[in-house]
Structure 1
Amino acid sequence: MSNTRRALFRSAWLPWALVLPQLLIIFVFFYWPTGEALYWAFTLEQPWGGGNAWVGWQNFAAVFSSEGYWHSVRISILYAASTTALAIGAALLLAMFVDREVKGSRGYRLAMIWPYAIAAPAIGIIFRFVFDPRSGVFAFLNQAAPGLWDPTLNGDHAMTMLVLAGAWQLVSYNFVFLLAGLQSIPRGLVEAAAMDGAGPLRRMRDLQAPLLAPTLFFLVIINMTDSFTHSFALVDVMTGGGPARSTDLMVYKIYSDGFKGLDYSGAAAQSIVLMLLVVGMTFLQFRFVERKLHYK
């Protein structure tokens, strides 16, 4: 006999009434905008109104033939890969310290969760102030070596500042998953490796990292997706896409082309491409990761 319990409702409309608010939210904030973007992507939207003209794949051809768009794709991949590697590496190191129950580790568990609750614009303002070349530590460095650090003029400096802010934002999220993964590993295996003379780094490389592989792959997909889609606020507050479009990421280029350049159709086509990219990453997660994760 199956132990599965099913919820039974006496009224046929009650289940629909319970899920209706969520369905409305999904429709209003996802399906409706997606449908509008699809319509605009295949039509020519006039900047000041006046109707739409069907142009087929013309908007996508214009996007893919633009060197500026491919530049945005390249720096977006660079930003996403750098942010993901730095955020997961830092979170793994912190999770190892807390997992070993070093002095003050319980306080770290609580403190490490807080940064994820801070809004992205606030993070951008904080990091922009910290890395300001005219004040603080970097002002002294620029006095000693003029031009050593200036993210307002140097694109590499601006991207570095942006990557550090994005990674700092994601460390807390990664820390929770990695700490849970480390604590799910049987202590007997870790203690046996320690008794055989394996140090912390050797245990992590040969024992813990392989067991954490599904969690790490899951975090890579989530971090990459977040970096592609949730970087707008950081870019808008910290760099505005500059200097010289060196931080004009895909999600910010959609905004700047659509709302500043008034190219609504081109921006809609770019948004569809970005959505397909995110859908592809989600497919990889469920296709190759979800089947290897086992919950008890």
Structure 2
Amino acid sequence: MRKSRSLQSSPAQLARGALYLLTLLFLAGFFVPRYRGIESMLDLLLGAVTSLPDFVRGLVEYFRNMPGEQFWPSAVLGAGVGVVTTLFAALYHRNSGIASRPAAWRVVLIGIAGTLAGAASAQVLNVPLQHCTYAPDIDRTQFRLGLAVTAVSALLALAPLWALLRRVHSPRLRDRTGKFANTPLAYAFLLPTLLVLTLFLYYPTVSVMLTSLRRKIFPLPQERAVCLENYVSLASDTIYRNSLGTTLLITALIVLLSLSLSLAIATLASQKIRYAGLYRTLLIWPYAISPVVTGIIFLSMFRESGAGLINWALRSTLGTAPGWLTDQTLAPWVIVAAAAWNIIGFNILFYIAGLQNVPQDLLEAASLDGANRVQRFVRITFPLLSPFTFFLLVTNVTYSFYGIYGTVEALTPNGGPPLGPGGIDGGATNVLIFKLYTDAFSSGAPAGLAGAQAVLLFLMVAGLTVVQFRFIERRVTYEA
């Protein structure tokens, strides 16, 4: 009996062994040709680890030699932010029922912890700045920006402190699910992801931030620290301000156009008709096209002087041929149409999935109560689609800020029709991501300005995302 059972299981064991062997061969075929890159990455990690003691010694030496008039303002401001916000968080937890009324000694300890954490965390962003915003000869604008940076830096350590405070005051969970919960093996599984994020996200982010604080002296290779001058110069740059306005306008138009059209098309495509799967596939495939190819497709349509398909049709029928890509008013609309067409397939995919999950019994009950098709859609279907709409709103805003560079480059390589005499005010389609890329890779442009633009663009998108989660998600209906 045992012999027959082993004979029966041997083919499965052979198949499993062959699968393991194929997996190993695949991994070897992937990593072996790239051993030089892996070796460079390991050298980078080893260099970062070995340079850590030197970094700590340099940090201690920095604070030892730093003038007190530059250190104490940041420490006092960070301590003030720390004690106020921490006591406010403790009071919020008490009033929300998470914690009982704390004793006086506990309030004192919480205040001391918040004060120390705020004062220490305030130095995190001031060290790269070398506390330059508190120098005696700094101008008023950079000093005010330095105060804001210090307040934000103080919050970096306070957020984990608030989370710890909430965890202490929250009722403990008795039943913890998960095979690796509270075990070192769980952190071991997270280590590869943390390494990848550190190498390709956190390290480049820190490098860009440090670059934004410096300015290259052309044509010499040296660089010099300029504190927050790059940010101040961007605030007074007319081209950058116009680029910001253009970006916000184009983003709003792309989001409105893509979401409204995709919902309408998804509603039609979700009907029970023959070959519905084929129609849905054809509707979704534009999302697989890159923004550059999308720009080329729309360039063939909106090319001027009768060479484009749209102008050929308009000239043949109406006798007119608008300058789609040279007119200051029309060029942004071409970018909006191309970008919305590129992302609309992604939106349709999610909306169709949402429409298939709408309970049919609710629609039938509303129909029996006398509600017409429009009323059923407005009162039942659309509210139940709010989770999908909210998700698509966040992704479409991010795409409109970051993902349309290829489309703008293909349709309007110079940033669109010039604004002002000689383009002194920029271009009509010179969005922030296009200006950032142009300034970063054009000859003679200071790299620090491009770094400052990258930081500001990231802060704008992050701020808009936080606002959407803070105010719009409240109206999202997750249950039928």
* TM class by smaller structure: 0.7 to 0.9
Given that 1:225 and 1:281 are in contact with CA atoms closer than 8 Å, whether structure 2 keeps it comes out as no
Task: Give 2:206's match in structure 1, choosing from 19, 35, 59.
Answer: 35
Aligned: 1:280 with 2:280: no
Return the alpha-carbon distance in structure 2 between the equivalents of residues 112 and 210 of structure 1. Answer: 24
Residue 242 of structure 1 is matched in structure 2 by 416
**Cα distance change of structure 1 residues 234 and 28 upon mapping to structure 2, 3 Å threshold:** farther
The CA deviation at 1:190 is 1.2
Given that 2:394 and 2:465 are in contact with CA atoms closer than 8 Å, whether structure 1 keeps it comes out as yes
Given that 1:218 and 1:285 are in contact with CA atoms closer than 8 Å, whether structure 2 keeps it comes out as no
Given that 2:325 and 2:334 are in contact with CA atoms closer than 8 Å, whether structure 1 keeps it comes out as no
Return the alpha-carbon distance in structure 1 between the equivalents of residues 222 and 230 of structure 2. Answer: 16
1:48-87 equivalences under 5 Å are 48=219, 50-87=221-258
1:162-201 equivalences under 5 Å are 162-201=335-374
Given that 1:97 and 1:105 are in contact with CA atoms closer than 8 Å, whether structure 2 keeps it comes out as no
Which fold has the larger relative contact order, with Cα–Cα distance below 8 Å and residues 6 or more apart in sequence?
1
Aligned: 1:126 with 2:301: no
Return the alpha-carbon distance in structure 1 between the equivalents of residues 368 and 467 of structure 2. Answer: 39
1:1-296 equivalences under 5 Å are 2=175, 4-7=177-180, 16=188, 19-48=190-219, 50-133=221-304, 134-142=307-315, 148-240=321-413, 241-244=415-418, 245-260=427-442, 262-288=445-471, 294=478
Given that 2:301 and 2:309 are in contact with CA atoms closer than 8 Å, whether structure 1 keeps it comes out as yes
Given that 1:214 and 1:289 are in contact with CA atoms closer than 8 Å, whether structure 2 keeps it comes out as no
Given that 1:47 and 1:262 are in contact with CA atoms closer than 8 Å, whether structure 2 keeps it comes out as no
The CA deviation at 1:126 is 1.0
One-letter amino acid of the structure 2 residue matched with residue 201 of structure 1: V
Return the alpha-carbon distance in structure 1 between the equivalents of residues 325 and 257 of structure 2. Answer: 23
SS at match of 1:44: strand
SS at match of 1:155: coil
The CA deviation at 1:234 is 0.8
Given that 2:390 and 2:473 are in contact with CA atoms closer than 8 Å, whether structure 1 keeps it comes out as no
Residues 65-122 of structure 1, C-alpha deviations (whole Å, 9 max, x = no match): 1111110011101111111111111110111112232444222222223221111111
One-letter amino acid of the structure 1 residue matched with residue 252 of structure 2: A
- Tell me whether 271-280 or 197-206 shows the greater mean CA deviation: 197-206
SS at match of 2:266: helix
SS at match of 2:215: strand
The CA deviation at 1:215 is 2.5
Residues 28-75 of structure 1, C-alpha deviations (whole Å, 9 max, x = no match): 332222112111211112344522211111111100111111100111
**Cα distance change of structure 1 residues 193 and 62 upon mapping to structure 2, 3 Å threshold:** same
One-letter amino acid of the structure 1 residue matched with residue 270 of structure 2: D
- Tell me whether 218-227 or 197-206 shows the greater mean CA deviation: 197-206
Identity %: 30
**Cα distance change of structure 1 residues 206 and 13 upon mapping to structure 2, 3 Å threshold:** closer
| Unaligned 5+ runs, structure 1 | none
Q: Which has the higher Rg, Structure 1 or Structure 2? A: 2
Task: Provide the aligned C-alpha RMSD in A.
Answer: 2.7
One-letter amino acid of the structure 2 residue matched with residue 105 of structure 1: A
The CA deviation at 1:279 is 1.4
Return the alpha-carbon distance in structure 1 between the equivalents of residues 478 and 318 of structure 2. Answer: 54
SS at match of 1:101: coil
Given that 1:91 and 1:174 are in contact with CA atoms closer than 8 Å, whether structure 2 keeps it comes out as yes
**Cα distance change of structure 1 residues 180 and 48 upon mapping to structure 2, 3 Å threshold:** farther
Return the alpha-carbon distance in structure 2 between the equivalents of residues 112 and 144 of structure 1. Answer: 29
Residue 85 of structure 2 is matched in structure 1 by none
TM-score w.r.t. length of structure 2: 0.56
- Tell me whether 90-99 or 44-53 shows the greater mean CA deviation: 44-53
